[in-house]
Amino acid sequence: MFESVLVANRGEIASRIIHTVRAMGLKAIAVYSEADADLPFVAEADEAILIGPPQPARSYLDAPRILEAARRTNAQAVHPGYGFLSENAAFARQVIDAGLVWIGPPPLAIARMGDKINARNLMKEAGVPVAPGVWEPVPDADTAAEEAERIGYPVMVKAAAGGGGIGMAAVRDEAGLRAAFETARTRAERFFGSADILLERYVERARHVEVQILGLADGTVVALGERDCSVQRRHQKVAEETPSPGVAGELRERMLAAAVRAGEAIGYRGAGTVECLVDPATKDFFFLEMNTRLQVEHPVTELVTGIDLVEQQLLVAAGEPVSFTAVEPRGHAIELRVYAEDPVRFLPGPGEIRVWEEPVGDGIRIDAGYAEGNTVTPHYDPLMAKLCVHADTRDDAVRRARAAVGAFRIEGPKTNLPFLAELLDHPEFADGSYDTGLVGRMRER
């Protein structure tokens, strides 16, 4: 086992990783931008290195600066967290070439899953269900119109190299398709450096369900259960839970088995997530994409399995056996993402935190990136904390989540806590019948 880990990230996920690194008796090294100097993760690390100004391109996305920080601190391994450089195959190769341990999957696996069209093709070959769609980039709007007629409306327009919902749009006719195609291509080029666009059938009232997998050092791939991520605004997740209230029995078994096949097909190592769309009407599911990293919502899987996923990542990266012998889920867990944003329009609302009072009690876990006196700046994603609850049943977990949201006090920046309270009281969420359109219906009302 290596003795020191540089965490190439910030905020709550940096704190989360540092906690396990130190619990394992290893040295935790943080890197931080000028805007983050006072955040908790910097103080929690054994050593912290300033790597640049607030702009991500000059700090957390600057690979040479991060590698220089690793050299200066004699770090032996690098954990990228999520976002930033976590799914950058070139950065993973640079870490390895520098003689460091990359705490993530092989660079080739990252590259193969980074392009959504390539990923679709690979998954089809591996026997993983994929939605009807294209098998190569769509070059222009005319071709897109032809392909959409073949696939059948409605269709989803996506950036092949993208993520985070940027440029995605569901369209129901040719006029909408042509407009969405041009918008998606422009945004794809701007945000991802690739104008490649894919089309696939849009599943009405779908559930977004993902499977957590872990590729072990000996080549084995195991599934640690599924998470329902259907509560989304602008195609970005707001709440997650496990087990999914929309998946059970034979459907769950098929999804877990398909996720294992997906990992085996690309020689996966470490923690990863196979994301799928589930059609509630037919009980069919389709591969959506694979996230070759630790997910934001990993705490709910940890709560029901008792398995520390970051610990397993470190063990796998060191070539050691994992610390568990069986996956035995217990109870129900819900994660609510607490953002510094307007609770109605979901627009970021940065500001100084004057009051920060977290809920406490049995079954409550807070993964926070901020504390009282810190400032949420406009330079990064406005996620402040993840409020997670665990209970024996889903009904008890929902009740516990309601109480915890009511007890979470944040004053200063705007927060989405009022929205989360509204969500937990909504009949569709309360009975578990919701789908990816829930937030849109709530806001239309």
Residue 344 three-state SS: coil
Amino acid 213 reads I
Residue 415 near residue 340 (C-beta atoms within 8 A): yes
Rounded to whole angstroms, the Cα distance separating 372 from 385 reads: 13
Residue 125 CB-density burial (10 A; 0-12 exposed, 13-18 middle, 19+ buried): exposed
Please give the structure tokens belonging to residue 60.
């957390």
Say which DSSP state 189 is in.
Answer: H
Q: How far is Cα of residue 341 from the mean position of the Cα atoms in its chain?
A: 19
Rounded to whole angstroms, the Cα distance separating 272 from 215 reads: 8
Q: What is the DSSP string of 251-302?
A: HHHHHHHHHHHHHHHTT--EEEEEEEEEETTTTEEEEEEEE-S--TTHHHHH
Contacts of 77 (CB under 8 A, 6+ apart): 2, 4, 5, 6, 100, 101, 102, 103, 314, 317
Q: Enumerate the active-site residues.
A: 293
Distances in whole angstroms, Cα of residue 35 to Cα of each of 287, 376, 413: 38, 9, 16
